Structure 1
Amino acid sequence: MRRLKLGSCPDSWGVWYADDPRQTPWSRFLDELAVAGYRWLELGPYGYLPTDPAELAEELDARGLRCAAGTVGGVGGPHRNFREVVAETRRVAELTLAAGGRNIVFVPVPGYRDDATGGYLEASELGPEQWRALLDNTNTLGRLLAEEYGLSLRFHPHADYQVENQRQVERLLDGTDPRFVSLCLDTGHLAYRRADVLGLIHGYPERVGYVHLKQMDPALAARAEAEDLAFGQAVALGVSVAPPAGAPDVPAVLGALADLDADLFVVVEQDMYPVDFDLPLPIATRTRRYLEETGDFA
């Protein structure tokens, strides 16, 4: 049975924020997403797409699009500012549920660095009390989403946040409740920090709940590390690339995902902020064709 569903998201059109003049206008994004051949989408930053449920439903229906997930971001990680995290998660959950989605992707940004300047905002490693808060609060958030909204929390490891490498991801999974917390397995961010993507799939098969499929240029990732660049600065250099140009190996990842006993959304992400508005559509179209030729999607 085909159990992988292919989608995309605003990030692949250069969208990182709810409102930014350097970003593709939301109506153009939706038009081009449909033209590129995608039928599932992740909503992206709250406020980028219409937040009125009736208007959002009308816009998606008009283009034959369906919601795979809502996205929580912009409030930092759950080890701090937890009241703000909960408030943002609730409003995203309400819109996601109204749009027919069943997943909430939690993206812990901003992290410990400033994307534009590269400056450090806090330590790159959490202390024991911060780890305890992260694990407890993530469990609380997952339980809230499950019990009050019937939604699933997918935690997104992210470059320049304190859950970004193999050791940290495993600590998060080992310390949280599998009933309420699973991964948004972002293959690009994990590869950027040299995590073993296939090892995570094989080692924690029941915790892979959702996938962001992206690739990174290994040479540019190595340069970013050597020059101590922030992730946003690396993106500006072009570190995020279209498959099959980078790492990890897409056929191997799709094969491992297909072997899991799970229905999974595989959402294409290619970080391109900021980007010329004419660039995303042809890249997205080529990427969809490549992935459909490579994987076994429903």
Structure 2
Amino acid sequence: MTIPITHRAPKHAALAQVRVGSAPDSWGVWFPDDPRQIDWSRFLDEIAEAGYGWLELGPYGYLPTDPTALAEELGRRGLRMSAGTVGGALHRADEYAGVREEALRVAGLAAAAGASYLVFLPAMYRDLMTGASMEPAELDADGWKRLTGAVEELARTVFDEHGVRLVFHPHADSHVETQAQTERFLSATDPAHVGLCLDTGHIAYRRGDNAELLRRFPERVEYVHFKQVDPVVLEEVEREDLPFAEAVVRGAVCEPPKGVPSLESLADGLAGLAPDVFVIVEQDMYPCPPDQPLPIATRTCGYLRASGVGSAARRAGRD
């Protein structure tokens, strides 16, 4: 059964205050260095040209890692940093030290560039490219306890060291991918330390209800990745049991407003969040032709503005 798609754009006054941005993966960037990815300077030029004022750091090492150089590159394009991103297998105790080191490195650079968040992604249980199973898809009780405890410890560390807030990002093919797993994670973690990065596409990818999560946990949703998935491609993904990377190649993550969840279905929930919450557009397209991202990003940014999302923030110079 195909999920109906709604194209009518919402006009919700509260959405005008949110801060809108995008991320390197909307330009086909998944890795620090890959010949199939566009040069970082072109990415910065194009994200600004598309109309976005905010961006995420992306994979550490893709953008300049010298804080002064990065600040100069952002400043001359009128761009500001919303968050850094890091991931790891915190359900495995022996990997905590390495993840901590990487998280502090990313958080330090992001904070130096003005970011206030660190997005944390759990490790995947399937190989990203091949789909081969690397461990069970479900954590046992001890695994859940290690994961939630380590995330809280890491959150306290990056805040104490760099003043950035950790927001946890459920992700397809990871141990926290479904709505039920997301709710379990939230119930087991302290909101004083850990927020939620609600990625609307990943929740929809596993048939979750983003609007319900927004209604039930508005105090936990501190950061949003706005992403849509194509319901027709999603049926192929499920039928063929494709890994996430192959799903992306097939077009599972699509250009708004062509997919689900619709912006209209999220409007009330987003309006109930903090007025200046970040809404970061992500459209995974790895790999993609170098001339493909900019037109899509420009149309998407225009669609959000026409829907009233971030319009007041932009006029006030906060976006």
Question: Displacement, 1:174?
Answer: 0.3
SS in 1 for 2:219: helix
**CA–CA separation in structure 1 for the residues paired with 2:89 and 2:198:** 17
Mapped partners of 2:101, 2:229: distance in 1? 33
**2:7 is the alignment partner of 1:7:** no
How many angstroms apart in 1 are the aligned matches of 2:54 and 2:111?
15
For residue 97 of structure 1, report the CA deviation from its aligned partner: 1.1
Q: CA RMSD in A?
A: 1.1
CA positional deviation for 1:215: 0.2
Query: Is the aligned partner of 1:226 residue 2:242?
Result: no
Aligned match of 2:133? 120
Shift of 1:261: 3.8
Paired with 1:273 and 1:39, the residues of 2 have a C-alpha distance of 23
Question: Which residue matches 1:180?
Answer: 193
Amino acid corresponding to residue 91 of structure 1 in structure 2? R
Alignment partner of 2:49 out of 14, 19, 35: 35
Tell me which of the two structures has the higher relative contact order, counting C-alpha pairs closer than 8 angstroms and 6 or more residues apart: 2
Within 2, Cα distance between the matches of 1:77 and 1:168? 16
- Could you say which residue in structure 2 is the equivalent of 1:85? 99
2:83 to 60, 69, 76: 69
Partners of 1:186 and 1:214 within 8 A in 2:
yes
Query: 1:179 Cα shift?
Result: 0.6
Supply the distance in 2 between the matched residues of 1:193 and 1:107 (Cα, whole angstroms).
16
C-alpha contact 1:251 1:295 (8 A) present in aligned 2? no
Q: Equivalences for 1:236-247 in 2 at 5 Å? A: 236-247=249-260
Q: Deviations over 1:78-126 (max 9, x none)?
A: 21211111011000111011101100011224x1111221111111111
Give the 5 Å matches for 1:248-263.
248-263=261-276
Distance 1:36 1:150 in 2: 30
Which stretch shows the higher mean deviation, 259-268 or 56-65?
Answer: 259-268
Q: Is the 8 A contact 1:3 1:258 kept in 2?
A: no
Amino acid at match of 1:150: G
Out of 219, 223, 228, the position equivalent to 1:206 is 219
Given that residues 8 and 41 in structure 1 are in contact (C-alpha distance below 8 angstroms), is that contact kept between their aligned partners in structure 2? yes
Indicate the larger mover: 257-266 or 272-281. 257-266
Aligned twin of 1:153: 166
**Displacement of 1:262:** 4.3
Q: For 1:296 and 1:10, locate their aligned partners in 2 and report how far apart those are by CA, in whole Å.
A: 21
Separation in structure 1 between the aligned mates of residue 176 and residue 301 of structure 2, nearest angstrom:
29
> Which residue number in structure 1 is paired with residue 34 of structure 2?
20
**TM-score, normalised with respect to structure 1:** 0.96
User: In 2, Cα distance between the equivalents of 1:115 and 1:89?
Assistant: 21
The secondary structure found in structure 2 opposite 1:205 is coil
Task: Give the drift of 1:249.
Answer: 1.2
C-alpha contact 2:20 2:309 (8 A) present in aligned 1 = no
Q: 1:150: how far off?
A: 1.5
Per-residue CA deviations over 1:204-259 (Å, capped at 9, x if unaligned) read: 01000100000001121121111111111111111100111000011221332112
In the alignment, structure 1 segments of 5+ residues that lack a partner are none
Q: Does 1:95 align with 2:109?
A: yes
* AA of the residue aligned to 1:196: D
Structure 2: where are the runs of 5+ without partners?
Answer: 1-13, 314-319
Give the corresponding residue for 2:277: 264
Runs of 4+ in 1 over 6 A off after TM superposition: none
Greater Cα offset, 269-278 or 117-126: 117-126
Which residue in the other structure is 2:8 paired with? none
Task: Quote the offset at 1:295 in angstroms.
Answer: 3.3
Q: Partner letter of residue 89 of structure 2?
A: G
- The AA in structure 2 aligned to 1:175 is A
TM-score (norm 2): 0.90
1:107 to 102, 121, 132: 121
Paired with 1:289 and 1:274, the residues of 2 have a C-alpha distance of: 24
